[in-house]
Amino acid sequence: MSMSTVKRRVVIIGGGTGGAMLANRLPRDEFEVMVIDKQPYNYFWPWLLYIAFRGSRKPIKREIRSLLKPWVNFIQSGVRFINLQDRYVELENGRRLTYDYVVIATGATVDYSRVPGLDKVTEMFGNYHSTEENAWKVWQTLNNMKEGTLAIILAPGAYRCPPSPLEGTFLAEEFFRRRGLRDRVRIVFATFYPRPYPAEPMNELIEPLLKERDIEYITFYTLDHIDPEKRVAYSMEGEELKFDAAIVIPPHVGVDIKYMPEDVLDSDRFVQADKFTNRVKGFDDAFVIGDASALPVAKTGVTAHLQAGVVAGFFRVRMPVTQAVLTVPSMLVMVSAHS
Ligand SMILES: Cc1cc2nc3c(=O)[nH]c(=O)nc-3n(C[C@H](O)[C@H](O)[C@H](O)COP(=O)(O)OP(=O)(O)OC[C@H]3O[C@@H](n4cnc5c(N)ncnc54)[C@H](O)[C@@H]3O)c2cc1C
């Protein structure tokens, strides 16, 4: 491709883990790359655990701009509409951006409305799956608690990072043990899965650790509603879990963006895609990576990272031959470095 050829435009929506990684991997000679995010920061979500359970004051976020290669354009604006049929993205101010390719990397968000009482309980005790503020609230909850029952409940539905509910539970146990309060604080982990950790091989490791640390657990517990005043969480199976403090991992859904056609979304607003190529269902020029997808894979940064690689591969095969020749040996170096 000669330098005079007009570059094709790739619009990446979301400058989180997946979006930023992909943007930096696209061949600059052939593509004009644009990242759009509604806010200026790239959040490192695992750090919510360190705020909630260790009181960490280290920053959880960095400027998206600082993470992107200089030739990648960054627009700070919310996207409210993606028209896959007419190939444009509409920003919050009404401005329309046309594209040759679009990549949806908008992550997931939490939906408190799906469990009655959950908004109030979150206000009281916080959580470690939404904002820095809510994670700080968990830290306060732990520090205020001198005795009683701490319930950590995994609400039914999608959530980010399969190990994180139990990571928080073990960190809470450590918190009270280190303060000499462990014999006065009962810790109960409740999950809708048939075992504490959903994947069996991991569970074989984790269940004995829960027993060893005297953490109680309830399985087949599908959270239905919570009475914040009485401090009772009710399951669909009819179980009542009394607590003094409750930290609930809320149901996650896709972010609030309208799509044309609407049926690319599932009922939880996640974008449906082909599991081999990450192409949005029915479209050759649209991809989805990371937590935003409806694919039956874990919602993790690792997944977003690997999927960014899959999609970058699609753009790379369109590279000029000279560039491909340079890339292949460097890929071999990477492979040998990892083996
Ligand atoms: C407590 C916790 C622990 C975790 N631990 C791990 C771990 O150990 N390992 C691991 O691999 N993963 C972990 N994860 C999961 C990991 O953080 C996510 O899976 C990862 O961030 C997903 O990347 P993403 O790019 O899909 O979404 P995100 O990183 O969430 O980025 C989405 C971006 O889209 C933007 N956006 C949303 N809506 C719009 C809109 N309308 N317009 C414009 N921009 C928009 C957002 O502002 C955001 O910047 C953890 C998560 C949590 C909560």
Query: Ligand 1, atom 29: nearest CA belongs to which residue?
Result: 16
- Give the number of the atom of ligand 1 that is nearest the alpha carbon of residue 18: 25
Q: Ligand 1 mean position to 14 CA, how many Å?
A: 9
Residue 317 CB coordination number (10 Å)? 7
Q: Is the pLDDT score of 31 beyond 90?
A: yes
Place of tokens 């009485």: 230
**Cα three-residue angle 112-267-94, rounded to 5 degrees:** 80
Every domain range in the chain assigned CATH 3.50.50.60: 3-47+60-110+253-335, 112-250
- pLDDT for position 70: 97
Segment 277-306 shows an average pLDDT of 97
Report the b/e string of 78-112 with b at 16+ CB within 10 A: bbeebbbeebbbbbeeeeebebebbbbbbbbbbbb
The sign one gets for the Cα dihedral 40, 45, 50, 51 is positive
Question: What's the first-to-final CA gap in the chain, in angstroms?
Answer: 35
Question: Are the CB atoms for 107 and 229 separated by under 8 Å?
Answer: no
What DSSP string describes 181-217?
Answer: -TTTEEEEEE-SSSSSSSSHHHHHHHHHHHHHTT-EE
Going by C-beta distance under 8 Å and a sequence separation of 6 or more, which residues neighbour residue 284? none
Q: Which two tokens stand for residue 21?
A: 């990684």
- Give the number of the atom of ligand 1 that is nearest the alpha carbon of residue 39: 47
H/E element holding 80? Answer: strand 79-83
Segment 111-115 shows an average pLDDT of 98
Q: What percent of the chain has pLDDT over 70?
A: 92
Residue 3 binned pLDDT confidence (cut-offs 50, 70, 90): low
CA dist 139 → 50, 55, 129, 131 (Å): 9, 6, 13, 13
Q: Ligand 1, from 81, 154, 160: best to mutate by most atoms within 8 Å of Cβ?
A: 160
Query: Average pLDDT, whole number, for the chain?
Result: 93
What three-state secondary structure class fits 260? strand
Q: Ligand 1, from 248, 300, 307: best to mutate by most atoms within 8 Å of Cβ?
A: 300
> What is the C-alpha separation between 295 and 18, in angstroms, rounded?
15
Residues near ligand 1 with C-beta < 6 Å? 13-19, 36-39, 45-46, 48-49, 78-79, 105-107, 128-129, 160-161, 164, 255, 257, 290-292, 299-302, 304
Q: What is the chain's Cα-based Rg?
A: 22
- pLDDT for position 317: 74
- pLDDT for position 316: 84
Query: Ligand 1, atom 35: nearest CA belongs to which residue?
Result: 14
Residue 266 CB coordination number (10 Å)? 14
> What is the C-alpha separation between 206 and 145, in angstroms, rounded?
26
Question: Are the CB atoms for 210 and 102 separated by under 8 Å?
Answer: no
- 204-228 tens-digit pLDDT: 999 999 999 999 999 999 999 999 9
CATH number of 3-47+60-110+253-335: 3.50.50.60
φ and ψ of 202, to 5 deg: -70, -35
Q: Is the pLDDT score of 21 beyond 60?
A: yes
Question: Are the CB atoms for 159 and 247 separated by under 8 Å?
Answer: no
- pLDDT for position 84: 98
Q: Where are the alpha helices (DSSP H) in the chain?
A: 17-25, 47-54, 64-67, 118-125, 132-144, 164-178, 200-212, 301-316, 321-338
Query: Ligand 1, atom 49: nearest CA belongs to which residue?
Result: 16
Q: Ligand 1, from 13, 17, 47, 249: best to mutate by most atoms within 8 Å of Cβ?
A: 17
Q: Which two tokens stand for residue 120?
A: 């109030």
Q: Assign domain 112-250 one CATH number from 3.20.20.210, 3.50.50.60, 3.30.70.360, 3.40.50.1820.
A: 3.50.50.60
- 254-268 tens-digit pLDDT: 999 999 999 999 999
> What is the C-alpha separation between 231 and 168, in angstroms, rounded?
21
- 166-208 tens-digit pLDDT: 999 999 999 999 999 999 999 999 999 999 999 999 999 999 9
- pLDDT for position 334: 42
Q: Ligand 1, from 41, 45, 255: best to mutate by most atoms within 8 Å of Cβ?
A: 45
> What are the respective helix, strand and coil percentages of the chain, to the nearest 5?
35, 25, 40
Place of tokens 């960014």: 308
Residue 274 CB coordination number (10 Å)? 14
